[in-house]
Amino acid sequence: MKRKKLTRRELLAASAGMTAGLAIGFAVPHVVIAENDRWGDLVGRLVYDGTPPERKKLKVDKDVDCCGKFDIRDESLMVGPDQGLANVYVYVRTRKVPIAPELAESAPKQVVLDNRDCIFKPHCMAIWYPRQEYAIINSDPIAQNVAFSPLGDTPANIILAPVKEGQDDPNTRAVWRFNRAQIVPVPIACNYHPWESAFVLPRDNPYVAISGLDGTFRIARLPVGKLEFQVWQERVGYLDLPQWPKGRFELAIQPGVNDLGTIRVPAARFERK
């Protein structure tokens, strides 16, 4: 059976997350309780401890007629208005972990990377590569390029045609499949526009969180038991803290919510040397 070619609108819609509902039968509540006892959520909040530096305005010297009108700034250190530390990856390092069945049912079929306003959006993302495709689209009226080289996997160098008003050109989009899990996020570049950058983390399980602008993160439906986690941030790599040597920590996941509380990350940790 041939795969249906999706339109731009369908591709963008595919990036929206879907919430899985659990069917709780009134006659057998003990079954649901037993199932819930197998899984727990990990939550926490990362806080930038200090005065965040002003984000540097990036040099835009290509396709200036289009890209020059945007205020394009460095995204390597993103701090929210309440000191939340954004774009930090927290993910399971333990291999071959059990996966909650409903996560497979609720996972979107595609993860979307959009070339929009002369930057990549979102800047950081993850993909459960055995189940999800990487949909790459161009929303700008100029040609774009998407290039990345996953370790031990096929490198990509994709050219996307410019968007023309009123036309749905299939050359403005592409679909990519990863074949191997990565231990750290893969950098993404545009060979046409050197200021464009992003990261994607292909994993063989869905247990990845990326902190938001408020610094919060959640990994849902983790298997109960001892797990090792990895923490990574673009500017420093492994987020090495006294409680997280080499950006790693172990935790015995309990049923329900496992709250790490607030983790304060010193500003000095991000100073460029």
Q: Tell me: the pLDDT tens digits for 196-252? A: 999 999 999 999 999 999 999 999 999 999 999 999 999 999 999 999 999 999 999
Q: How far apart are CA 103 and CA 81, in angstroms?
A: 32
Over the stretch 111-131, which tens digit does the pLDDT of each residue have? 999 999 999 999 999 999 999
Q: How far apart are CA 158 and CA 244, in angstroms?
A: 37
- In the numeric block, the tokens 């999706």 are attached to 6
Quote the pLDDT of residue 21: 31
Question: Model's pTM, two decimal places?
Answer: 0.87
Average pLDDT over the chain, rounded to whole? 90
Quote the pLDDT of residue 166: 84
Quote the pLDDT of residue 271: 85
Q: How far apart are CA 139 and CA 141, in angstroms?
A: 7
- Local confidence band at 273 (pLDDT 50, 70, 90 cut-offs): low
For residue 206, what is the DSSP state? S
Residues with Cβ < 8 Å from 211, sequence gap 6 or more? 45, 46, 84, 85, 86, 87, 88, 90, 217
Predicted confidence (pLDDT) at residue 33 exceeds the cutoff of 90: no
Q: Which residue has the higher pLDDT, 166 or 70?
A: 70
Quote the pLDDT of residue 37: 86
Domain 62-270 has CATH 3.20.20.80: no
Amino acid at 220: A
Predicted confidence (pLDDT) at residue 5 exceeds the cutoff of 90: no
Predicted confidence (pLDDT) at residue 35 exceeds the cutoff of 90: no
Closest-CA residue to 261 (of 57, 10, 47):
47
Burial of 90 (0-12, 13-18, 19+ CB in 10 A): buried
Q: Where are the domains of the chain?
A: 62-270
State the average pLDDT over residues 167-179.
95
